């Protein structure tokens, strides 16, 4: 069957090509389409019956001449060729080289859709990753195998934050950072601009990891439909590195909103029933298929830690893409336009941020004994300080009580000293926690009820409080 | 009964097959891969099949076989402590047999057929006796916590012509025989099958009478649920639905817990699998896993199996109810199940009514929740299924269809709030939005078992919280100085109730579970402090002085200072309050008392 070429195209639009009388094409089959210019495109069967086969074409259907389009069904699913040499290479969304070098010599190939991990096979992630960023390490700790997205908005420095994490991330062994040997990075870019792509490349180069990165790129001016397969291709590569080659893989995916918009475009073309904002009802399951590929597996040394970047259209966290992402991932790091405007770098809004796996990765033996309580106190005090701030905005700071004024001072110090650190500052978790005590000590002892009396005796700084 | 046919059309999880005699609800096996599905509609000779597994690789022309039976679960000893997928395939066995990724087309029985179980026949039961469906034939000690009662299947009745002696049997060996009226002989086994979409029968519904004690103050003390009740936990992402459900699974005084992970994270189930065997039931002291069963269809597993997973869980829950147990089923998240319904409806071209959901969403949810309840079983005992569903409204908007339909159905509503969660006030149950229709019934239990003034104290603390909410509105307009001393004290006391009582961290070793006695003690202590403070204000103490009492910071730490089995300490704290205030009272009530230091501001 794979030798036969069919030219029975019935219609083509919006990335979809319908073929008549192709007997027995299997769902999910990989397809090669040759157009009248001789260029070939790759596709996949998304619906199949005896009369009509629907193919989605990842390079898009622009410029297809139905009479002069030849389609070959490869009789196998969409697979990615894999070998250790993927590291250091740049590919497009379907896994073909984009760096002008020859295709890699495959050791093996894998279905890009993967198969779901048996929940009984998972190992619960608990190893602390020190990112050197106080708002993350101190309050929203990342652990190996976690999926932790960055929620951002246009013009906010999410790329810089992602690059800083890549640059600084390390594991601690007995307080010391470990070597980089088994570390790999998979970078998946969907719909990003040329300059963003260049920013990442330069930043990987500068941090000396370029040889450890497999890059999959679909730029803003590439066909949107290719974005549908790209994250699957990239994660197939990540799974190979993590679970075949025992590497610790960090996957940075940007921007999931463009991915979802491409999905919406195709879904609308297929006539799928929309749920919210025109996105199809299966967006949740579709995103979950991607995000749930992160994690750890019992008995395997490697791991996949996933940091998707999700831009929130109009800064709206309830928009379907961030919303559904938040329902799937293990927390989120939210960037704030206000903090960015106040020159706080990175502008992490800690209150809506969350790391669900933090609780098992911190504490004695992993970070420090007081970590959980300090984090909890920072959240509580900063939340209270925000209330005081809005009160001050109404009645004026002069009218505030003395205690309230101390909350204002605390909030200032917290944002300017703890949150703000700049792109180049790599803080150890101990520095982060000490800094936390420094700012918390601006508040009266009695207000710090989430800390134990023992903590207060040991670490509260009387001087700072005066 | 099985029919042969072939596949015509494949689109995602929906397959159309030529299958002239298939009935709706019937199981179908598809293609060379042997994927399992279920007929959801018939059109002429064609059957529309929803497939429980990923359909990639299926081809038109491949065979389709109707299997003659609706989707059923296997019920018998050996299912507790296990984790199953949405089709009741044992995930641990799958892991051993096929590796860490789930393969398709696997048929693995839920119960290990080689394992022998110690069966003890019911003593009074004699051969020749007339027995009906649901009668208890005997017992199997499944583990140290649970005695599995072996029931005559509900549809069987007649004369017992044979009952095996005590001994070890596999689930496939006959342990008895019954001759029915028509003279048919039915073999009885330790296990039996039941179709998941059909509620299991019982004699009659009973009133729910006892609160489900979850060890969570915001639930037990403020918004109680009864054993046999229906509750919902709606909330935006990250608000704490899963943690609360896990807390219920851990600490509630149910005898059996069915935890259905429906369209949620794999790691959350891994966490339960990791931690439950190491945790012990605060009452029996036995490992929690002995009374727990997990059904897992994680978000990356096929969507149709997600829809059936809640029915699989419910049928298992009813099976233990019929043995006379109090069962709790938690379903995380019912929204994912509703979305699975929506997806199938959408692919069938059914007309969407709201946000893409089909018109039957409300009635499907209601029919499902109706399977909860306390009943008199066929054998005359009592059992209950308490159902607690998490709801995940898009954008946290409670007016969306799944939340609003669910709210009409359930009796206890624990509304989680993003604002509270953002401020790390956990559990983030919003005391103004939540409700329980069971407060009066629960009060009877509290009054009999804990203290006569429970309802009064509970209502008082809720009133305090509501009043504080209004006062806060004033403060936000004109500042705290506009409040009277009493009002400021109300505000402060409400904060004390929030922080010292409502907030309860699941991670705090001494406070993750809070016994009813401890709940009551904390509640009465907070109200006591409030009352005594109010009295001091009347005697002329200034509110500033009152707020400076170190007692207030201390009181917030009591919950984590004393575990439920260290209540003597807490009682001592209660006793220590008396002299503290006595001394203050003496100071202010004496002739040389300080005068009020300020005129009360405001009205
Ligand atoms: N009772 C609690 N005690 C301590 N921490 C809690 C509690 N409830 C929630 N949390 C914190 O909030 C995080 C998120 O809670 P959870 O996973 O239950 O949210 P969720 O409502 O189930 O979200 P989603 O809808 O995305 O699944 C937890 O990982 C934990 O850090
Ligand atoms: Mg959850």
β-partners of residue B90 are: B84
* Nearest by CB: A24 against B55, B60, B556: B60
The ligand 1 atom nearest the CA atom of A359: 31
Q: Does B544 touch chain A (CB under 8 A)?
A: no
Query: How far apart are the CA of A143 and the nearest CA of chain B, in angstroms?
Result: 13
The answer, yes or no, to whether the previous bond of A96 is cis (omega within 30 of 0) is no
For the Cβ of A384 lying below 6 angstroms from any atom of ligand 1, the answer is no
| Radius of gyration of the CA atoms of chain A, in A | 25
Length of chain A: 466
Residue B7, Cβ density class (10 Å: 0-12 exposed, 13-18 middle, ≥19 buried) = buried
Residue B301, chain A, CB below 8 Å: the answer is: yes
Q: Ligand 1: does its nearest atom lie under 6 Å from the Cβ of B73?
A: no
Partners of A1 on chain B (C-beta within 8 Å) are none
- Enumerate the residues of chain A whose CB falls inside 8 A of the CB of residue B424: 376, 379-380, 383
Q: Do residues B86 and B309 make contact, with C-beta atoms less than 8 angstroms apart?
A: yes
* A157 close contact with B: CB closer than 8 A: no
Question: Structural domains in chain A?
Answer: 5-76 (2.40.30.20), 80-360 (3.40.50.12240), 371-465 (1.10.1140)
Closest partner residue to A285 (CB to CB) among B92, B100, B303 is B303
- Please name the residues in contact with A157: beta carbons below 8 A apart, sequence gap of 6 or more: A335, A340, A345, A346, A347
CA distance B574 to B577: 5
Q: Do B112-190 and B454-601 agree at the fold level?
A: no
Domain boundaries, chain B: 3-70, 112-190, 204-438, 454-601
How many other CB atoms sit within 10 Å of the CB of residue B347? 18
The H-or-E segment that residue B3 falls in is strand B3-11
Fold of the B3-70 domain: Elongation Factor Tu (Ef-tu); domain 3 (2.40.30)
Ligand 1 contacts CB of residue B427 (under 6 A): yes
pLDDT in tens, B553-592: 999 999 999 999 999 999 999 999 999 999 999 988 776 5
Q: What angle do CA A55, A56, A57 make, to 5 degrees?
A: 110
User: What separation, in Å, do the N-terminal and C-terminal C-alpha atoms of chain B show?
Assistant: 83
Q: What is the pLDDT of residue A349?
A: 97
Distance between first and last Cα of chain A: 82
Residue B277: predicted pLDDT: 86
User: In angstroms, what separates the C-alpha of B446 from chain A's closest C-alpha?
Assistant: 30
Quick check: helix, strand or coil at residue B159? strand
The number of helices, as runs of H, and strands, as runs of E, in chain B is 16, 28
Least Cα separation, residue A53 to chain B (angstroms): 9
B506 lines ligand 1 (CB under 6 A): yes
Q: What is the distance in A from the centroid of ligand 1 to the CA of B427?
A: 8
Give the helix ranges, DSSP H, for B292-412: 303-322, 334-347, 361-369, 401-409
The reply to whether residue A357 touches residue B267, judged by beta carbons under 8 angstroms, is yes
A326: nearest CA partner in chain B: B237
Q: Which fold has domain B204-438?
A: Rossmann fold (3.40.50)
Q: Which of B67, B65, B64, B36 minimizes the C-alpha distance to B50?
A: B36
**CB contact B274 to A (< 8 Å):** yes
DSSP B121-158: E-TT--TT-EE-TT-EEEEEE-SSS-EEEEE--TT--E
A151-186 in b/e form (b: 16+ CB < 10 A) is: bbbeebbbbebbbbbbbbbbbbeeeeeeeeebbbbb
Residue B603 has a pLDDT of: 38
- Closest residue to atom 15 of ligand 1, CA basis: B240
Please tell me if residue B534 touches chain A, with a CB cutoff of 8 Å.
no
Whether residues A122 and B395 touch (CB distance < 8 A) is answered with: no
CB A237 within 8 A of CB A88: no
Q: Which of A48, A383, A401 sits opposite B59 (nearest CB)?
A: A48
- The residues placing their C-beta within 5 Å of ligand 2, an ion, are B 241-242
- Residues 79-98 of chain A with CB under 8 A from chain B are none
| Pocket flag, ligand 1, residue A389 (CB < 6 Å) | no
Looking at the predicted structure, is the pLDDT value of residue B599 above 50? no
Cβ–Cβ of B59/A26 closer than 8 Å? yes
For B396, counting Cβ atoms within 10 Å of its Cβ (0-12 exposed, 13-18 middle, 19+ buried), the class is buried
B422 CB neighbours in chain A (<8 A) are 351-352, 383
Q: Return the bridge partners of A151, or none.
A: A310, A334
Is-above-0.80 flag for pTM? yes
CATH 2.40.50.100 for domain B112-190 = yes
Q: Does B91 touch chain A (CB under 8 A)?
A: yes
Q: Which fold has domain B454-601?
A: 1.10.1140
B12 neighbourhood in chain A, CB within 8 Å: 46-47
The residue of chain B with its CA nearest to that of A284 is B299
Phi, psi of B583 (to 5 degrees): -65, -45
Helix axis angle for B334-347 and B401-409, nearest 10°, is: 120
Measured from the alpha carbon of residue A330, the closest ligand is 1
**How many beta-carbon pairs below 8 A join chains A and B?**
212
Is B95 in Cβ contact with A50 (below 8 Å)?
A: no
Q: Which two tokens stand for residue A14?
A: 């919006």
Q: Does B189 have pLDDT greater than 90?
A: yes
Closest ligand to the CA of B511: 1
User: Judged by CB atoms within 8 Å, which residues 445-474 of B form the interface with A?
Assistant: none
Pairing of the two strands B373-376 and B204-206: antiparallel
Is A204 within 8 Å of A210 (Cβ atoms)?
yes
Q: Residue ranges of chain A with pLDDT lower than 70?
A: 1-2, 173-181, 463-466
Start-end of H helices in A240-313: 256-270, 283-291
Q: What is the average pLDDT value for chain B, to the nearest integer?
A: 93
Q: How many residues comprise chain B?
A: 603
Residue pair B602/B482 in contact (Cβ under 8 Å)? The answer is yes
A392 touches chain B (CB under 8 A): no
Enumerate the residues of chain A whose CB falls inside 8 A of the CB of residue B83: 119-120
**Chain B contacts of A125, Cβ < 8 Å?**
267
Closest-CA distance of chain B to residue A254, Å:
21
- Distances B476 to A246, A391, B8, B68, B483 between C-alpha atoms, Å: 56, 6, 66, 67, 11
Pocket of ligand 1 contains residue B243 by CB under 6 Å: yes
The confidence score (pLDDT) of residue B214 equals 97
pLDDT, position A4: 85
Ligand 1 site, residue B215, Cβ cutoff 6 A: no
Range from A162-176, B96-110, B407-421 carrying the lowest mean pLDDT: A162-176
Residue B601 banded pLDDT, cuts 50, 70, 90: very low
Asked if A352 is an interface residue toward chain B (Cβ–Cβ < 8 A), one would say yes
Does B602 have pLDDT greater than 60?
no
Q: What would the pLDDT profile of B334-351 be if each residue is shown by its tens digit? A: 999 999 999 888 888 888
CA-CA-CA-CA torsion sign (B346, B348, B353, B357) = negative
User: What is the reported pLDDT for B401?
Assistant: 96
Candidate from B8, B56, B397 with C-beta closest to A50: B8
Chain A environment of B270 (Cβ under 8 Å): 119-120, 122-124
Which of A281, A282, A362 best tests the B interface by mutation, with the highest count of B CBs <10 A?
A281
Task: Tell me which chain A residue has its CA closest to the CA of residue B418.
Answer: A352
Instruction: Say yes or no: B105 contacts chain A, CB-CB below 8 A.
Output: no
The pLDDT tens digits of the residues spanning B360-372 come to 999 999 999 999 9
> Does A115 contact chain B (CB < 8 Å)?
yes
> With a 6 A CB cut-off, is B239 part of the ligand 1 pocket?
yes
Beta bridge partners of A41: A33
When pLDDT is cut at 50, 70 and 90, the band that residue B200 belongs to is very high
Do the Cβ atoms of B392 and A116 come within 8 Å? no
DSSP, collapsed to helix, strand or coil, labels residue B104 as coil
Range B90-117 average pLDDT: 92
Please tell me the distance between residue B235's alpha carbon and the centre of ligand 2 in angstroms: 9
Collect all residues of chain A within an 8 Å Cβ-Cβ radius of residue B94.
118, 120
Q: Does B503 sit in the ligand 1 pocket, CB within 6 Å?
A: no
Going by their DSSP bridges, the two strands B117-121 and B35-43 should be labelled as unpaired
């Amino acid at each position: 069957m794979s030798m036969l070429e069919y030219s029975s195209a019935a219609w083509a639009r919006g990335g979809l090509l319908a073929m008549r009388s192709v007997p027995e094409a299997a769902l999910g089959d990989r397809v090669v389409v040759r157009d009248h210019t001789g260029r070939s495109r790759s596709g996949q069967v998304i619906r199949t019956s005896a009369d009509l086969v629907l193919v989605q074409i990842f390079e898009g259907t622009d410029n297809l001449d139905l009479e002069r389009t030849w389609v070959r069904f490869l009789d196998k699913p969409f697979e990615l060729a894999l070998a250790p040499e993927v590291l250091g290479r740049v590919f497009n969304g379907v896994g073909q080289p984009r760096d002008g070098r020859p295709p890699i010599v495959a050791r093996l190939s894998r279905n890009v859709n993967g198969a779901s991990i048996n929940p009984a096979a998972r190992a619960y992630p608990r190893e602390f990753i020190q990112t050197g960023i106080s708002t993350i390490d101190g309050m929203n700790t990342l652990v190996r195998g976690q999926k932790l997205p960055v929620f951002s908005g246009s013009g906010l420095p999410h790329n810089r934050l992602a690059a800083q994490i890549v640059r600084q991330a390390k594991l601690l062994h007995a307080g010391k950072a470990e070597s980089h040997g088994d570390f790999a990075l998979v970078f998946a870019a969907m719909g990003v601009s040329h300059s963003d792509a260049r920013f990442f490349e330069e930043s990987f180069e500068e941090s000396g990891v370029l040889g450890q990165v497999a890059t999959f790129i679909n730029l803003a001016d590439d066909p949107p439909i290719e974005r549908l397969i790209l994250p699957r291709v990239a994660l197939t590569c990540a799974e190979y590195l993590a679970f075949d080659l025992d590497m610790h893989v960090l996957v940075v995916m940007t921007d999931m909103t463009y991915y979802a918009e491409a999905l919406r475009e195709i879904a609308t073309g297929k006539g799928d029933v929309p749920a919210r904002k025109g996105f199809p009802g299966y967006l949740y399951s579709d995103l979950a298929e991607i995000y749930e590929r992160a994690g750890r597996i019992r008995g395997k040394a490697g791991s996949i830690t996933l940091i998707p970047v999700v831009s929130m259209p109009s800064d709206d966290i309830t928009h379907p893409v961030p919303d559904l992402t938040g329902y799937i991932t293990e927390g989120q790091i939210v960037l704030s336009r206000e903090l960015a405007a106040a020159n706080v770098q990175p502008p992490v809004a800690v209150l809506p941020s969350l790391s669900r796996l933090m609780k098992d990765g911190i504490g004695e033996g992993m970070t420090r004994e007081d970590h959980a309580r300090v984090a909890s106190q920072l959240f509580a005090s900063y939340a209270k300080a925000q209330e005081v701030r809005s009160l001050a905005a109404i009645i004026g700071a002069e009218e505030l009580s003395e205690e309230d004024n101390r909350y204002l001072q605390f909030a200032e110090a917290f944002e300017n000293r703890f949150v703000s650190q700049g792109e180049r500052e790599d803080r150890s978790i101990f520095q982060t926690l000490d800094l936390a005590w420094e700012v918390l000590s601006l508040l009266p002892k009695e207000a710090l009820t989430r800390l134990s009396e023992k903590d207060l005796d040991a670490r509260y700084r009387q001087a700072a409080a005066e | 009964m099985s029919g042969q046919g072939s596949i015509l059309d494949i689109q995602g999880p929906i397959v159309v097959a030529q299958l002239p005699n298939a009935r709706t609800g019937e199981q179908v096996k598809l293609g060379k891969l042997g994927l399992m599905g279920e007929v959801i509609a018939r059109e002429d000779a064609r059957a529309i099949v929803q497939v429980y597994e990923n359909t990639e690789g299926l081809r038109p022309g491949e065979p389709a076989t109707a299997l003659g039976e609706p989707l059923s679960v296997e019920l018998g000893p050996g299912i507790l402590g296990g984790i199953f997928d949405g089709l009741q395939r044992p995930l641990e066995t799958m892991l051993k047999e096929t590796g860490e990724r789930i393969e398709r087309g696997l048929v693995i029985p839920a119960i290990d057929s080689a394992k022998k179980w110690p069966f003890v026949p019911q003593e009074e039961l004699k051969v020749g006796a007339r027995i009906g469906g649901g009668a208890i034939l005997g017992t199997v000690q499944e583990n140290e916590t649970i005695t599995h009662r072996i029931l005559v299947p509900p549809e069987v009745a007649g004369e017992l012509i044979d009952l095996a002696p005590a001994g070890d049997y596999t689930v496939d060996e006959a342990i008895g025989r019954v001759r029915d009226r028509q003279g048919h002989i039915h073999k009885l086994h330790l296990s039996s099958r039941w179709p998941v979409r059909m509620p299991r029968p019982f004699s009659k519904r009973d009133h729910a009478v006892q609160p489900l004690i979850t060890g969570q103050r915001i639930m037990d003390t403020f918004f109680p649920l009864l054993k046999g009740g229906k509750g919902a936990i709606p909330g935006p992402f990250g608000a704490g639905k899963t943690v609360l459900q896990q807390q219920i699974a851990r600490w509630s005084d149910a005898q059996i817990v069915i935890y259905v992970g429906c369209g949620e994270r794999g790691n959350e189930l891994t966490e339960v699998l990791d931690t439950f065997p190491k945790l012990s039931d605060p009452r029996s002291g036995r490992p929690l896993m002995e009374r727990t069963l997990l059904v897992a269809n994680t978000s990356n597993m096929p969507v149709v199996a997600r829809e059936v997973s809640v029915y699989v869980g419910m049928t298992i829950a009813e099976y233990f109810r019929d043995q006379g147990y109090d069962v709790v089923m938690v379903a995380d998240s019912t929204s994912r199940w509703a979305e699975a319904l929506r997806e199938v409806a959408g692919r069938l071209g059914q007309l969407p009514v709201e946000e893409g959901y089909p018109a039957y969403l409300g009635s499907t949810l209601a029919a499902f929740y109706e399977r909860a309840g306390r009943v008199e079983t066929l054998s005359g005992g009592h059992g209950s299924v308490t159902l607690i569903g998490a709801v995940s409204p898009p954008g946290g908007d409670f007016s969306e269809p799944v939340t609003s339909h669910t709210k009409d159905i359930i009796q206890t509503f624990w509304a989680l709030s993003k604002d509270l969660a953002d401020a790390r006030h956990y559990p983030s149950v919003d005391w103004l939005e939540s409700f329980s229709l069971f407060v009066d019934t629960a009060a009877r239990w509290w009054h009999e078992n804990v203290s006569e003034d429970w309802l009064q104290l509970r209502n008082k603390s809720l009133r305090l919280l509501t009043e504080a909410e209004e006062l806060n509105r004033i403060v936000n307009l004109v500042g705290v100085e506009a409040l009277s001393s009493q009002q400021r004290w109300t505000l402060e006391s409400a904060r004390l109730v929030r922080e010292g009582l409502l907030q309860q961290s699941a991670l705090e070793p001494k406070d993750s579970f809070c016994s009813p006695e401890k709940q009551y003690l904390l509640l009465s202590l907070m109200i006591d402090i409030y009352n005594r403070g109010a009295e001091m204000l009347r005697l002329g103490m200034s509110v500033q002085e009152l707020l400076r009492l170190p007692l207030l910071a201390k009181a917030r730490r009591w919950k984590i200072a004393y575990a439920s089995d260290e209540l003597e300490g807490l009682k001592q704290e209660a006793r220590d309050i008396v002299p503290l205030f006595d001394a203050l009272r003496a100071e202010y009530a004496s002739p040389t008392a300080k005068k009020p230091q300020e005129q009360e501001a405001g009205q």
